[in-house]
A and B are shown apart, each in its own frame.
Chain A
Amino acid sequence: MTQNVDAIVVGGGIHGCSTTLHLCLAGLKPVLIEKDYAGRHASGVNAGGVRQLARHIQEIPLSIRSMGIWEKIKDLLDDDCSFESYGQVLVAENEEELAVCRARVAELNALGFTHEELIDATELRRLVPAVAETCPGGVVSRRDGAANPAQTTTAFRRKAQQLGATVREGVAASNIRYSDGLWHIDVGTETFAAPVLVNAAGAWAGKIAAALGEPVPVETVAPMLMITSRVPHFIDPVVILRGRKLSFKQFSNGTVLIGGGHLATPNQDRNETVLDWKSLAISARTVFELFPVMRGATIVRAWAGIEAKMKDDIPVFGPSSRHKGLYHQFGFSLHGFQLGPGAGAVMAELIVNGGTQTRVGDLGIDRFHPSTL
């Protein structure tokens, strides 16, 4: 028997869970369908960076909207998500890189964005005492921070469930079809129908979009991370580099997360990734050079999460350009975690109100397919 709901959300990453929750808050009864379990892939195993710093200009409004939610995340979810806000610092390793930073901050300021702040060597050393002496400065975004990604994604799922969302985990959505003004979808032996369908299926979303006649230039990637044993506390903010691929974060328990976007080989049909240790060694060398204090730390684990990366590195977010009632929310290209809370709120506004005050027009799928609606 078909169960009628108000909206069907496919994908239990932070985006699908956040959108489901915000639809509940708007008074709708959504169903969330996740083929594995909420946070199984990139949303649960990413670096947890809550970062407005160094974003593409097109997604800055969404990022700022999201930051406001992050700062009150406990009120929203009854779970602090281990969110902490010590800022994120982008380090310039030389004068040329610092010049690029200066130009970037000036560009943002001209557009009215003030969250990124140029810092000199003294302020850099104050924020990140352990950084190599040769670095001349950088950029800070002081409200940024980090959270526990699996805890966060699960907290969104749990809160949505408490507010009445139906959640189906462990069974893939199949046989997506549109008839009589409703989207129908099979989940094992069940069928759900709703006027609204949200495609938030992460690395699997591109296939869904293509099957519905909206192919986009997207690939599946698996950025690698590694974590060390506990070392004495030496750093608070998250650090990223201007020139080389590196992100760096010490947790309160002393462990240090090292990332930066080197890629594993994904096999999304098997939910597997094969790590590339020669690339991880590059990250290790970068840390070795920049943070001498880390040299004796041990690497205890490395992993990679499977996700979607757009050719232009900008997500696909907003209504379909072909189908009424279909919305896309995927392709966050290695930087979707921080956007999750805000994107869910904005998506719910698009669905319920037909529009939003947050500027997201540059993220639409109509950049690939002019709208036929």
Chain B
Amino acid sequence: MTVAPKREDYDVVVIGAGPAGLAAAATSAEAGLTTLLLDENIGPGGQVFRAISSTPVTERSQLGADYWVGADLVQSLRASNAEVIHRATVWSLDRNLDIAVSIGGASAFVKAKRVILATGALERPFPIPGWTLPGVMTAGAAQTMLKSSALVPGGRTVIAGQGPLLWLLAAQILRLGGRIDRILDTTERGNYFAALPHAFAFLTSPYFTKGLAMMREVKAKVQVVSGVTELTAIGDGQLTSVSYAAGGKRETIPADLLLLHQGVVPNVNLAMSADVEHRWDDLQLCWSPVLDASGNSSVAGIAIAGDGAGIGGANAAVVRGRIAARAAVEALAPAVAAKLPAMATLRADLAKAERGRVFLDTLFRPSPQFRIPSGDTIVCRCEEVTAKDVLDSVAIGATGPNQLKAYRRAGMGPCQGRLCGLTVTELMAQARGKTPQEIGYYRLRAPVKPITLAELAAVPKSEADIKAVVRG
């Protein structure tokens, strides 16, 4: 089923139907603004509430109570007048708030008075030796299969990395009867001390008790090796074993599947392609958009909510979505804004939702050796560029990621740097003795997701084009 947008102009276009987008679109539409929600997936929920209205997993405890919160958000959205289109890939957004979207193989253009980007997070690249072997995948990809199809690993499975989502996934796999042979925890020991000063806020946050219970549940069933400092995926054309070092001891274990995860980072591609200003976040080790307290970016009319605004988790995402939508209502229908929850209330909610975040960010700050590879380890998968290739390019004068494109085509494949961008920035920063902020990032360009030439050729002709044909 393909449904083109009903209008050419909207008050508010929300991009992404995860927690932030669902909340933003519902708030905006309830306030009477013409609202379009565009989402790439087949149903609402984003990653955290993936397949919330279609999952075959019906036993609620298996995915956890937090997952089912998504159902309420979807309910509010459906009760509103927001126009919602799924399988809609936004491939261009610019500072004029012109949006190009591909729906069912056909592209349409819409214009917005305000755009709320809720494009969420991506998993941080985990460039260890052998990470591109078949049999190695991200934990997020495994979770997608689990939520949408109840598929869990059956072969010899190793999970490596760190962060809350790693434990959540492990628990979900085990509850659904999946197999996990070993968990290799790469959390740096020093991080526990660094995180200590922030522990009080964390102890009083909702993450604490849930997180602890989940780790206990997993540790009861799986051997967990902590303090892992080296990690290699081994295999000839297919993963056969995983080698690691912890506490000075090295071990190699056979494996059919290695799931890697070391946290998530904002998905900045669409915002960056619209020339939204971003800054390097030294704690979260990623690029985050520069935003005001209402989520407004450096580009007039574009606000960003959810993890795309800086990782804050699902609860914070919902509130940020409401804040961005309220700001849009204030700008476009001030009279109605008075009826919405006050901005001060929302900001207090946000502070509450963000409590404990600094602790998590500090504790789960990935180690340098898992972020900055060396030697023959692949950095850019699309163009098969290794760490050594990057350093060689620096040696002959590449000063940043954009020059690296010219030397090595890094970041020029279809993923536009999603899988290598952070690695390239940090690797070049280290090699040149600069900060990531000074090194910068790839200049990203539309189409943010590839479209076919045939689809572009089929877009409606512009006035100028019609005139050109008449003249010619």
Contacts and interface: CB of A to CB of B under 8 A. Distances in A.
Nearest to B447: A299
Given A37-B403, A300-B414, A287 B397 contact: no
Given A151-B407, A301-B416, A294 B453 contact: yes
Contacts of A157: 397
A282 interface: yes
Is the interface on chain A under 10, 10 to 19, 20 to 34, or 35 or more residues? 35 or more
Contact of B446 (A39, A244, A294, A302): A302
A299 B456 contact: yes
Contact of B414 (A148, A154, A281, A298): A298
Contacts of B454: 288, 295-296
Interface in A24-78: 37, 39-40, 44
B123 interface: no
B452 A298 contact: yes
Given A154-B397, A154-B403, A270-B275, A277 B472 contact: no
A281 B406 contact: no
B94 A298 contact: no
B413 interface: yes
Interface centre among A282, A295, A301 (most CB of B within 10 A): A301
A243 B396 CA distance: 42
A150 interface: yes
B462 A148 contact: no
Interface string B200-234: 00000000000000000000000000000000000
Interface string B264-278: 000000000001000
B447 A301 contact: yes
B403 A150 contact: yes
A228 interface: yes
A354 B405 CA distance: 39
A229 B459 contact: no
Interface string A345-365: 000000000000000000000
Contacts of A298: 414, 450-453
B453 A299 contact: yes
A156 to B, nearest CB: 11
Interface string A274-287: 11011111101101
Given A298-B414, A299-B450, A281 B396 contact: no
A297 B453 contact: yes
A275 B452 contact: no
A158 interface: yes
B94 A275 contact: yes
Contact of B445 (A151, A281, A301): A301
A80 interface: no
Contacts of A243: 472
A229 B450 contact: yes
Contact of B100 (A149, A154, A244, A277): A277
Contacts of A297: 452-453
A294 B454 CA distance: 8
A369 B275 CA distance: 39
Binding site secondary structure of chain B: loop
A242 to B, nearest CB: 12
Contacts, number: 111
Given A154-B406, A278-B465, A302 B397 contact: no
Interface in B425-472: 443, 445-447, 450-454, 456-457, 459-462, 464-465, 468, 472
A149 B403 CA distance: 11
Contacts of B416: 300-301
A165 to B, nearest CB: 13
A171 to B, nearest CB: 14
Given A274-B95, A297-B452, A298-B452, A284 B399 contact: no
Is the interface on chain B under 10, 10 to 19, 20 to 34, or 35 or more residues? 35 or more
A272 interface: yes
B106 interface: no
Contacts of B92: 275, 277
A279 B447 contact: no
B412 interface: yes
A229 B382 CA distance: 11
Contacts of A244: 472
A279 B95 CA distance: 17
Interface centre among B399, B452, B453 (most CB of A within 10 A): B453
Nearest to B451: A299
A280 B403 contact: no
Contacts of A284: 453, 456-457
Contacts of B453: 228, 284, 287-288, 294-299
A82 to B, nearest CB: 9
A298 B94 CA distance: 21
A178 interface: no
A282 B465 contact: yes
Nearest to A301: B445
A178 to B, nearest CB: 32
B462 A44 contact: no
B414 A151 contact: no
Contacts of A86: none
B465 A302 contact: no
Nearest to B454: A295
Contacts of B55: none
B406 A148 contact: yes
B412 A301 contact: yes
B109 interface: yes
Contacts of B403: 37, 39, 150, 154
Nearest to B413: A300
Interface centre among A169, A228, A274, A296 (most CB of B within 10 A): A274
Contacts of A296: 452-454
A352 B392 CA distance: 36
A284 B458 CA distance: 9
Given A277-B459, A299-B453, 6 more contacts: A275-B92, A278-B462, A281-B459, A284-B453, A300-B447, A301-B447
24 contacts: A37-B399, A39-B406, A40-B402, A149-B406, A150-B406, A154-B397, A154-B403, A253-B409, A272-B95, A274-B94, A275-B92, A277-B100, A277-B446, A278-B459, A278-B460, A278-B462, A280-B456, A281-B461, A284-B456, A298-B450, A298-B452, A299-B452, A301-B416, A303-B443
Q: Name the 6 nearest CB pairs between A and B, nearest first.
A: A150-B406, A278-B462, A298-B450, A284-B456, A288-B457, A284-B457
